């Protein structure tokens, strides 16, 4: 077998094109990176060049964290098997994990990815409610399996998508900056009600169509939609409407869970202590890159699922190694006080991004919480026209300066910050400084272009104006 470390970059790329499906895309497709190692918030290419990682919310507590690596190695050296055998790692981790949730969320199903977790959640909801219809949010993405493509407008409304099935109802995402209702015309309280009423109307539609709602499916803060933070009170009202329609409510914490928001372990908790979903799905950060995820739900929903007589079995979900890794991740979050760190770093970055907003007119909005932040780029602050090309250019230039950032949202104009939680103050200063200089360069270049255009226009106009022959005061002639 070839040693990939010894392949030249172009050889690696050629083999990928030959053997990997063409729909499996790479970051920076014009000049993809070959990453060979990583540590903390840094990734290194085959030439040893260091890149600051501002996008990897998978390696939640830092790439290759020694405590997590050690836990995996030690358990792998002893035993790894499926969950049909009793093992302490599984039950002790389940006890620890559920202790971090409101009391009613006490039962776990362990799986291998966020997609698996969300797919299982749909099955749980349909079994429990007896209904089929799903309410999702516009621009949402919940996973790559067929059932989730069906409820992900981020996929079914784009190339290759087949549109939504008739059992899926799409509510406008509660984006207060560029959504259906905005802060230009409404207060935050009014916005929460306006957007919640959209869900209420879909509940009524689903009830009329098929007798009720199965599940309301939403990230606690929407990532692919452009780092969207819902207005206060939104989820409280939505959950009330969905429950009245016979449905259950899901909080997808695959991208925003495990303390990323800083103030709370789970992002849904930022909407209030009384806002408690019926199902929570976990993924990416749970294993710091190791494939482990989970569905957390109530005893009632779990027992109804079990009452069908169909056994649920997942070969690798909750295996001893996965449970050991996941437990080690919680150790690091607690021991290194990463939630407190997320509050501190998030506050600093948000303050600095807002400082850049005062300086650079292309920044229309800065939003987010903790280490989940977005910078909405605009061509014009009044119209809020999205600056898509500018966002792509910034990410390209940052990559050339060894900083990895991405853009998302329906217009791909929102710079997304979701680094590992161990992002340091020096890292933050590097990111802000390079962003500042890049935006300044772009504005200077634009000013130069405008100045040249102005000069050309002036010359063009002057060539059409009366010209004065100044040979002598007495011989003034006007030429047109």
Going by pLDDT thresholds of 50, 70 and 90, the confidence category of residue 30 is confident
CB 331: neighbour CB atoms within 10 A?
16
Q: Is the pLDDT of residue 478 over 70?
A: no
Write down the pLDDT at residue 448: 77
User: CB of 356 within 8 A of CB of 436?
Assistant: yes
Task: Convert 29-62 to b/e letters by CB count within 10 Å (16 or more is b).
Answer: eeeebbeeebebbbbbebeeeebbbbbbbbbbbb
9-18, 66-75, 284-293, 443-452: least confidently modelled range: 443-452
Report pLDDT digits (tens) over 425-470.
999 999 999 999 999 999 999 877 666 666 565 555 555 554 434 3
C-alpha span between 420 and 427 (Å, rounded) = 11
Over residues 244-264, mean pLDDT = 97
Q: Per-residue DSSP letters for 280-301?
A: EEE-GGGGTTSS-EEEEE-HHH
**What percent of the chain stands above pLDDT 70?**
92
Going by pLDDT thresholds of 50, 70 and 90, the confidence category of residue 475 is very low
Report pLDDT digits (tens) over 40-64.
999 999 999 999 999 999 999 999 9
Looking at every residue in the chain, the average pLDDT score rounds to: 92
- What are the helix and strand counts (H, E) for the chain? 13, 18
Report pLDDT digits (tens) over 322-343.
999 999 999 999 999 999 999 9
């Amino acid at each position: 077998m070839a040693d990939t470390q010894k392949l030249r970059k172009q050889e690696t790329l050629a083999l990928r094109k030959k053997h990997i499906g063409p729909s499996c895309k790479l970051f920076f497709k014009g000049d993809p990176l070959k990453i060979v190692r990583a540590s903390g918030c840094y990734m290194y290419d085959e030439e040893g060049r260091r890149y600051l990682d501002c996008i990897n919310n998978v390696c939640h507590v830092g790439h290759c964290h020694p405590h997590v690596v050690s836990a995996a190695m030690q358990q792998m050296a002893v035993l790894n098997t499926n969950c049909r055998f009793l093992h302490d790692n599984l039950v002790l981790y389940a006890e620890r994990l559920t202790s971090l949730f409101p009391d009613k969320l006490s039962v776990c199903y362990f799986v291998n990815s966020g997609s698996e977790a969300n797919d299982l959640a749909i099955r749980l909801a349909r079994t429990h409610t007896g209904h089929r219809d799903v309410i999702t949010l516009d621009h949402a993405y919940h996973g790559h399996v067929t059932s989730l493509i069906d409820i992900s407008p981020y996929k079914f409304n784009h190339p290759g998508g087949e549109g939504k099935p008739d059992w899926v109802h799409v509510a406008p995402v509660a984006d207060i900056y560029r959504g259906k209702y905005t802060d230009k015309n409404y207060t935050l309280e009014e916005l929460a009600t306006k957007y919640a009423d959209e869900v209420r109307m879909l509940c009524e539609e689903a009830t009329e169509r098929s007798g009720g709602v199965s599940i309301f499916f939403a990230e606690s803060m929407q990532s692919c939609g452009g780092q969207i933070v819902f207005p206060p009170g939104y989820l409280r009202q939505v959950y009330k409407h969905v429950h009245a329609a016979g449905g259950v409510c899901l909080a997808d914490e695959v991208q925003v869970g495990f303390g990323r928001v800083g103030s709370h372990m789970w992002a849904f908790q930022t909407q209030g202590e009384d806002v408690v979903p019926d199902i929570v799905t976990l993924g990416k950060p749970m294993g710091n890159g190791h494939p482990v995820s989970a569905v957390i739900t109530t005893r009632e929903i779990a027992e109804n699922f079990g009452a069908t007589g169909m056994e649920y079995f997942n070969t690798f979900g909750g295996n001893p190694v996965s449970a050991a890794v996941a437990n080690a991740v919680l150790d690091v979050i607690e021991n290194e006080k990463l939630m407190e760190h997320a509050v501190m770093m998030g506050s600093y970055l948000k303050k600095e991004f807002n400082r850049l907003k005062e300086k650079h007119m292309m920044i229309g909005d800065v939003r987010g919480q903790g280490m989940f932040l977005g910078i909405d780029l605009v061509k014009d602050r009044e119209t809020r026209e999205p600056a898509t090309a500018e966002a792509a250019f910034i990410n390209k230039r940052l990559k050339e300066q060894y900083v990895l950032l991405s853009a998302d949202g329906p217009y791909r104009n929102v710079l997304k910050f979701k680094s590992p939680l161990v992002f340091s103050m020096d890292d933050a200063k590097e990111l802000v400084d390079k962003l500042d200089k890049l935006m300044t360069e772009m504005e200077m270049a634009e000013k130069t272009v405008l100045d040249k255009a102005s000069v050309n226009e002036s010359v063009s106009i002057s060539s059409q104006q009366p010209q004065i022959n100044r040979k002598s005061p007495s011989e003034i002639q006007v030429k047109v």
